[in-house]
Amino acid sequence: MTLAFDIGARLLYRDALLLVIDKPPGLPVHPGPRGGETLTDHLDGLRFGLPRRPEAAHRLDRDTSGCLALGRHAKALARLGKLFAGSAVDKTYWAVVDGGPAGEVGRIDFPLARRSDDPRSWWMKADPAGDPALTHWRVLGRGGGRTWLELKPVTGRTHQLRVHCAASGWPILGDAVYGGAPRGSALHLHAQSLTIPLYPKRAPITVTAPPPPHIAQAVAGTGF
């Protein structure tokens, strides 16, 4: 399947070091073992005169939409990599979940580990012996048996938000891996904003991305 879209039209921010795009859902960022189209296939359209294409500075799951930061060259990627690895970047996600927490604000502090010893497997589980993982959450709306959440991951573990929500008893809507949704369902997880302290003598850069239609519709059902 080929996703027909204009990557230039999805550009949210641009400067000498950094690009931020609104990644569409359903498109992997990097090539996988099964092959197929990836975001990398489109990045030449964002060179803007530089000799090489930009590259992703962090990860978003294939089915997660929203803000993705790209480094425009090797030095930019190295600087961004340190910021993401050091949890200096503030990441805010929107999720619509089945059910929802009893309170209005809280934190999920479940360590995470791989489900399998197979290095090709990316499926994770909550495991006391796993790597520390911390997520802050806040309720933004409720309705129809679902809850609209703001999620802020402090750590950046694989599938952290999806596993944390499922392990808390309120899986993200459309999650076929951790929530039991039918295969091919639309995941309701959106990288809504990034705040990046890229330049020491300037204010941090904040970029936001509008939710895709399926998430906007679900959010509207929670009272927004």
Q: What is the per-residue pLDDT for 224?
A: 65
Q: Is 22 a catalytic residue?
A: no
| pLDDT reading at 31 higher than 90 | no
- The answer to whether residues 24 and 11 touch, using CB atoms and an 8 Å cutoff, is no
The pLDDT mean for the chain works out to: 92
| pLDDT reading at 52 higher than 50 | yes
Q: What is the per-residue pLDDT for 1?
A: 44
First-to-last CA distance in the chain? 33
At residue 157, φ and ψ (nearest 5 deg) are -75, 155
Provide the β-strand partners of residue 68: 21
Amino acid identity for residue 150 in this structure: E
Give the pLDDT mean for 69-74: 98
Give the pLDDT mean for 193-203: 96
Question: Cα angle at 108 between 140 and 168, to 5 degrees?
Answer: 80
H/E stretch holding 85:
helix 74-85
Lowest mean pLDDT among 35-44, 65-74, 88-97, 145-154: 35-44
pLDDT band at 168 (very low <50, low <70, confident <90, very high): very high
pLDDT in tens, 72-89: 999 999 999 999 999 999
Closest by CA position to 63, among listed 203, 186, 221: 186
Q: Which residue has the higher pLDDT, 153 or 125?
A: 153
Q: What is the per-residue pLDDT for 126?
A: 87
Query: CA 195, CA 52: separation in Å to the nearest integer?
Result: 25
Q: What is the per-residue pLDDT for 23?
A: 97
Enter the pTM of the model: 0.93
pLDDT in tens, 14-24: 999 999 999 99
Which of 61, 63, 98, 175 is catalytic? The answer is 61
Count CB neighbours of 62 within 10 A. 16
In the numeric block, which tokens belong to residue 36?
Answer: 């197929």
pLDDT band at 117 (very low <50, low <70, confident <90, very high): low
